[in-house]
Amino acid sequence: MKIDVVILAAGQGSRMRSSKPKVLHSIGGKSMLQQVVDAASALQDVDIHIVVGHGADQVREAMGEGCHYAEQKEQLGTGHAVAQALPLLSEGSKTLILYGDVPLTKTETLQAMLDAVDEQSMAVLTTQLDDATGYGRIVRDQAGAVLSIVEQKDANAEQLAINEINTGIMCIPQAQLSRWLPQLSNDNAQNEYYLTDVIALAVADGVAINTPQPGSSHEVQGVNNREQLAELERVLQAWNASRLMTNGATLADPARIDIRGDVDVGQDVFIDINTVFSGKVTIGSNVRIGPNCVITNASIADNSEIFANSVIEDASVGQHCNVGPYARLRPGAVLADKARVGNFVEVKNSSIGEGSKANHLAYIGDADIGAGSNIGAGTITCNYDGANKFKTTMGDNVFIGSNSTLVAPLEIEDGGFVGAGSTITTKVPSDTLAVGRGKQRNISGWQKPVKKKD
């Protein structure tokens, strides 16, 4: 059966104190709304419909054309919001109703909701809370069947004592939803059209109401302010850390790691404190990552070590490599097996061949370096003339002496040797020494400057 997912994202979120719509605030490196969309998109045969209102243009721009949009021009309640999406729904679908500010609901929980629904039944996601203040209560009959959901402001004392709460997440057959929404009334304390009032209509029509529950109450926790967002951020990071450890990583401190994307690890990986992962990161087996590293959209192959305070972005590290400390691999950096990039070395859009090394204080940009080569300290590739970028190519077993300046476009063939302190502007043939520096002069009798007295 077709699945329509309706995500309510029209609220202003004034308590966030932000010009940005609440649902676009980030958790785990993605907007809250994107987290919800990603969880729903992992289901089978899904169309995503987002109900927008405040900051609608910003939401559309952020989420792109992969979603459908309905606009709620007036904030008249959740029932009214869902009604705006009715024309977009497929006939005979299951309609899953989610919230853009409830970012941690897991795909398996959504699947349980779908599994609990057929043409004559609907589902409401509920959970038990020690303190249910502020939530709608699930009212049941003596046999345990759901009778209604009563909002906090409309509840009597007996109903307020109930600790089973409505999370707001529902799954309803499209045919039933299309029939019930026009029957909603705003005769309540808030003068709003409550989506929860469909429960009474379902009871009246003899539609069964099933109540799956999430694995954790954090899955259904909403965000109204930055403190709550920070709280859920730590929950998500704890889940991420647990998954890494389950998959084969040792974390020096699970509370001091941030994953803002997707990280896959092999076996026997060690990750030290304060490392931040963003985007898609793949880490092989027996990899060690030192403290305070930032790794974004990168792959690190088996048996490599990333030392402290290194930054790797859109780069690839081969097997048995060493990177850092204080190294930076910028986009397009590719290290072959056994390559070494040491402290205060920056590599951009360059490949470093097998066993080659740049151990300290170098800039390698727009270069291809063969196998077994050595780049001395203080070496830079001059790849930019102020308008265009140019390439430096080095063959195998090239040796570049310290403090050399390689002016691209430039080729240094296999076995080429550059003397320390040289500025090289033309091709260096194979097995040739190139020296490009001024002649030294020693001046005898030279007088050291003396500081003038006041």
From 49, 80, 218, 360, active-site residue = 360
Q: How far apart are CA 225 and CA 15, in angstroms?
A: 5
Question: How far is the C-alpha of 429 from the C-alpha of 448, rounded, in Å?
Answer: 43
Residue 218 pLDDT grade (very low, low, confident, very high; cuts 50, 70, 90): very high
Local confidence band at 453 (pLDDT 50, 70, 90 cut-offs): confident
pLDDT (0 to 100) of residue 224: 94
Q: Which of 383, 388, 385 is nearest to 408 (CA)?
A: 383
Among residues 353, 344, 271, the alpha carbon closest in space to that of 311 is found at 344
Confidence of residue 449 (pLDDT cuts 50, 70, 90): confident
- With beta carbons less than 8 A apart as the criterion, state whether 165 and 136 touch: yes
The average confidence (pLDDT) of the chain is 96
Could you give the CA distance from residue 454 to residue 437 in angstroms, rounded to a whole number?
A: 41
Distance, in Å, from the CA atom of 315 to the CA atom of 347, rounded to the nearest integer, reads: 10
Separation of alpha carbons 444 and 265, rounded Å:
64
Using the structure block, give the residue that is written with the tokens 């009604």.
Answer: 83
Strands 137-140 and 417-418 turn out to be unpaired
Mean pLDDT of 202-216: 95
390-445 confidence digits (pLDDT tens): 999 999 999 999 999 999 999 999 999 999 999 999 999 999 999 999 888 898 99
pLDDT in tens, 153-188: 889 999 999 999 999 999 999 999 999 999 999 988
Instruction: Return phi, psi of residue 338, to 5°.
Output: 70, 15
pLDDT of residue 269 exceeding 80: yes
- Residue environment code for 342-357, b if the CB has 16+ CB neighbours within 10 A, otherwise e: bbbbbbbbbbbbbbbb
Number of Cβ atoms within 10 Å of the Cβ of 159: 17
Q: Quick one: pLDDT at residue 451?
A: 85
Evaluate if residue 189 carries a pLDDT over 80.
no
- pLDDT above 80 for 454: no
**pLDDT tens, 332-382?**
999 999 999 999 999 999 999 999 999 999 999 999 999 999 999 999 999
| The domains spanning 3-220 and 226-434 adopt the same CATH topology | no
pTM: 0.90
- Looking at the DSSP assignment, which residues form a beta bridge with residue 52? 9, 71
Q: What is the three-state SS of the chain? A: CCEEEEEEECCCCHHHCCCCCHHHCEECCEEHHHHHHHHHHCCCCEEEEEEEECEHHHHHHHHHHHCEEEECCCCCCHHHHHHHHHHHCCCCCEEEEEECCCCCCCHHHHHHHHHCCECCEEEEEEEECCCCCCCCEEEECCCCCEEEEECHHHCCHHHHCCCEEEEEEEEEEHHHHHHHHHHCCCCCCCCCCCHHHHHHHHHHCCCEEECCCCCCHHHHCCCCCHHHHHHHHHHHHHHHHHHHHHHCEEECCCCCEEEEEEEEECCCEEECCCEEEEEEEEECCCCEECCCCEEECCEECCCCEECCCCEEECCEECCCCEECCCCEECCCCEECCCCEEEEEEEEECCEECCCCEEEEEEEEECEEECCCCEECCCCEEECECCCCECCEEECCCCEECCCCEEECCEEECCCCEECCCCEECCCECCCCEECCCCCCCCCCCCCCCCCCCC
- Written as six digits, the tokens of 295 are 């790794």
In this prediction, residue 25 carries a pLDDT of 97
pLDDT above 90 coverage of the chain, percent: 91
Domain 226-434 classified CATH 3.40.50.1000? no
Does residue 409 have a cis bond before it (omega within 30 degrees)?
yes
Residue 262: partners with Cβ closer than 8 Å, 6 or more residues away: 279, 280, 281
Q: Tens digit of pLDDT for each residue in 36-94?
A: 999 999 999 999 999 999 999 999 999 999 999 999 999 899 999 999 999 999 999 99
pLDDT band for position 281 (cuts 50, 70, 90): very high
Q: Is 320 a catalytic residue?
A: no
- Kind of pairing, strands 94-99 and 269-271? unpaired
Largest CA distance in the chain: 109
State the architecture of 3-220 in CATH terms.
Alpha-Beta Complex (3.90)
**Which residue in 122, 125, 130 sits closest to 214, CA to CA?**
125
pLDDT of residue 253: 98
Domain ranges, ordered by start, for the chain: 3-220, 226-434
pLDDT of 289-330, one tens digit each?
999 999 999 999 999 999 999 999 999 999 999 999 999 999
